[in-house]
């Protein structure tokens, strides 16, 4: 009897070596069998003895439906299975896993609670509604973009360096415990109303655009270099502590004031479609790209911005504009739709009269019913150039409103304070769909479509065609 027991113990390793891993998905199995670093004996199966020593598996874009059998790879530290057709993924036995790349599948759930060694997870473009990351305290990179997440708790992930969670339905995000963070991307979360980045002193990149934030505090993020916060209903933004800021995109918010005097490293500024009445860029001498259309700005001076090469200030209430920066010949420039602007101070009047001559541009948009569009560029037809315009704001009375559109809203900024101002809106059939008196800045919501907006004041009529998305 004892001899039989000893013989059995001696034969157990041989039985284990001969035991095949159960792999029901033929594509998955074929990929493993074809990999000579995994299938070391070159047969048509994967033995347990082969699986338990493998530390890396790559199974990308192979139309795999089922990854059953991966649990046998207990030494696995790196697993790539992106762009397949997986609806489930069980990595609970792969406790040594450090990197998991499973984006572009059909996963509805993902349990990572056993993978405490995990440092890198890329699970974007799946159908995940919730994932528990609280046990993954070693995590440094997290990408869960393009899922259906409504909540994301990363309070335990203090080692995180980069987090991406855009295109979800997250309502609140607190990353303040992740003090090592360098980059946060949480854009296109149309229900995101709260974002806390207060503890992230090392943060250099922040993207939170096209969400629902009503406020954003970046006063403690003194290392911030790139910030995209456009498309949020934010009416106040303090960037005076962000002295390393290079790029700021804060367009299509509700900003009424923007202090940039401390941001001397700023090279890219996009702040169009706000309600700014003034903007001082005299300290931003490294500015190359500056776009501020669709505001209420009455005076602009870019004479200190000597390397500016892209400048757009269309659709404001400008009365005074100074572009004598010594670089006009290298600058893309547009100042149209400023009805009260009569003269622009430039480097060289003779050069501007030839190269920036007001020109009527006409084109047919065949993607929108073949409409004929007409606009002046780079300035309106009544604008002149001078080496030193003397006409100032005090010599003008603002007389015409600004008509713009954003998403499903028509915005009218009534600059003339006329008691008899009215707005009338027509649809494509010429039917009047709206009419009302104007008493100040007005926003009117309409369904998707093309409309003709006509504003009448005691000073005349302004008409504009708008597109609502």
Taking all residues of the chain, what is their mean pLDDT, rounded to a whole number?
89
The whole-number pLDDT of residue 11 equals: 38
The whole-number pLDDT of residue 368 equals: 57
Pick the range with the lowest mean pLDDT from 36-40, 256-260, 454-458: 454-458
Strand runs (DSSP E) across 16-153, as ranges?
56-58, 78-80, 99-101, 120-122, 141-143
Tell me the average pLDDT across 345-372: 79
| Tally of residues, the chain | 469
Which residue would you say has higher pLDDT here, 2 or 70?
Answer: 70
Distance CA(426)–CA(199), nearest Å, equals 51
Q: What is 398-468's CATH topology?
A: Immunoglobulin-like (2.60.40)
Distance CA(425)–CA(455), nearest Å, equals 9
Output the CA torsion 228→232→234→238 (10° steps): -10
Which residue would you say has higher pLDDT here, 32 or 380?
Answer: 32
- Bridge-based pairing of strands 194-196 and 183-185 is unpaired
The whole-number pLDDT of residue 450 equals: 75
* All residues at 6 or more sequence positions from 383 whose CB lies less than 8 Å from its CB, including other chains: 335, 341, 342, 343, 344, 358
The whole-number pLDDT of residue 397 equals: 44
Kindly report the pTM of this predicted structure.
0.80
- Give the DSSP letter string of 149-164: -S----TT-TT-SEEE
Q: Would you say the C-alpha torsion 438, 252, 154, 169 has a positive or negative sign?
A: positive
308 pLDDT higher than 90: yes
17 pLDDT higher than 60: no
* Residue 317 buriedness (CB in 10 A; 0-12 / 13-18 / 19+): buried
pLDDT grade, residue 422 (50/70/90)?
confident
DSSP class of 22: P
The whole-number pLDDT of residue 411 equals: 81
Task: Tell me the β-bridge partners of 359.
Answer: 377
pLDDT grade, residue 377 (50/70/90)?
confident
Percent of the chain with pLDDT over 70: 87
Residue 451 tokens read as 């409309």
457 pLDDT higher than 90: no
Tell me the average pLDDT across 302-311: 97
418 pLDDT higher than 60: no
Which residue would you say has higher pLDDT here, 20 or 394?
Answer: 20
Please provide the CATH number assigned to the domain covering 19-128.
3.80.10.10
The pLDDT tens digits for 102-149 are 999 999 999 999 999 999 999 999 999 999 999 999 999 999 999 999
406 pLDDT higher than 60: yes
Task: Tell me the β-bridge partners of 58.
Answer: 80
Residue keyed to tokens 């069980």: 90
The whole-number pLDDT of residue 459 equals: 66
Burial of 128-147, coded b for 16+ CB within 10 Å and e otherwise, reads beebebebbebbbbbbbbbb
For the beta carbon of residue 447, count every other beta carbon within 10 angstroms: 9
The whole-number pLDDT of residue 428 equals: 60
The whole-number pLDDT of residue 394 equals: 43
pLDDT grade, residue 469 (50/70/90)?
low
Residue 352 tokens read as 């501007």
For residue 31, the surrounding DSSP H or E stretch is helix 26-34
The pLDDT tens digits for 259-299 are 999 999 999 999 999 999 999 999 999 999 999 999 999 99
The whole-number pLDDT of residue 7 equals: 41
Cα radius of gyration (the chain) = 31
* Residue 361 buriedness (CB in 10 A; 0-12 / 13-18 / 19+): exposed
Domains in the chain: boundaries? 19-128, 398-468
Distance CA(388)–CA(385), nearest Å, equals 9
Q: What are the angstrom distances between the C-alpha of 278 and each of 340, 342, 356, 468?
A: 16, 19, 25, 27
Strand runs (DSSP E) across 238-370, as ranges?
247-249, 268-270, 289-291, 299-301, 310-312, 320-322, 332-334, 343-345, 359-365
The pLDDT tens digits for 246-269 are 999 999 999 999 999 999 999 999
């Amino acid at each position: 009897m004892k001899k039989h027991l000893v013989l059995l113990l001696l034969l157990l390793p041989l039985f284990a070596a001969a035991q095949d891993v159960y792999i029901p998905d033929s594509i998955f199995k074929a990929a493993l069998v074809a990999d000579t670093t995994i299938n070391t004996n070159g047969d048509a199966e994967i033995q347990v003895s082969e699986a338990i020593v493998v530390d890396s598996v790559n199974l990308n874009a192979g139309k795999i439906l089922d990854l059953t059998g991966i649990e046998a790879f207990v030494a696995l530290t790196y697993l790539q299975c992106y762009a397949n057709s997986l609806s489930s993924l069980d990595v609970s036995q792969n406790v040594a896993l450090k990197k998991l790349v499973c984006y572009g599948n059909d996963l509805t759930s993902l349990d990572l609670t056993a993978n405490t060694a995990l440092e890198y997870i890329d699970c974007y473009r799946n159908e995940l509604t919730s994932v528990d990351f609280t046990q993954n305290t070693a995590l440094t990179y997290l990408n869960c973009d393009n899922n259906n997440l409504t909540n994301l708790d990363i309070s335990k992930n203090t080692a995180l360096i980069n987090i991406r969670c855009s295109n979800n339905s997250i309502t609140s995000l607190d990353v303040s415990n992740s003090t090592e963070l360098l980059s946060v991307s949480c854009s296109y979360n149309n229900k995101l109303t709260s974002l806390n980045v207060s503890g992230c002193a090392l943060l250099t990149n922040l993207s939170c655009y096209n969400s629902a934030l009503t406020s954003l505090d970046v006063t403690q993020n003194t290392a911030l270099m790139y910030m995209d916060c456009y498309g949020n209903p934010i009416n106040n933004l303090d960037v005076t502590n962000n002295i390393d800021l290079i790029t700021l995109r804060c367009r299509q918010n509700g900003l009424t004031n923007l202090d940039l005097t401390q941001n001397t490293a700023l090279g890219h500024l996009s702040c169009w479609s706000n309600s700014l009445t003034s903007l001082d860029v005299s300290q931003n001498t490294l500015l190359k790209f500056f776009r501020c259309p669709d505001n209420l700005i009455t005076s602009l001076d870019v004479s200190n911005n000597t390397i500016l090469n892209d400048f757009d200030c269309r659709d404001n209430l400008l009365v005074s504009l100074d572009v004598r920066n010594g670089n006009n010949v290298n600058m893309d420039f547009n100042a149209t739709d400023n009805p009260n602007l009569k003269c622009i101070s430039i480097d060289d009047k003779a050069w501007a009269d030839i190269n920036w001559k007001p020109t009527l541009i006409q084109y047919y948009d065949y993607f929108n019913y073949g409409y004929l569009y007409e606009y002046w560029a780079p300035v309106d037809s009544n604008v002149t150039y001078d080496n030193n315009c003397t006409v100032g704001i005090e010599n003008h009375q603002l007389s015409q409103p600004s008509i713009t559109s954003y998403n499903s809203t028509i915005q009218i900024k009534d600059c003339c304070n006329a008691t008899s101002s009215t707005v009338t809106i027509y649809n494509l059939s010429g039917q009047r769909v709206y009419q009302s008196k104007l008493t100040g800045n007005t926003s009117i919501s309409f369904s998707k479509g093309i409309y003709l907006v006509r504003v009448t004041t005691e000073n005349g009529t302004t008409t504009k065609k708008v597109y609502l998305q």
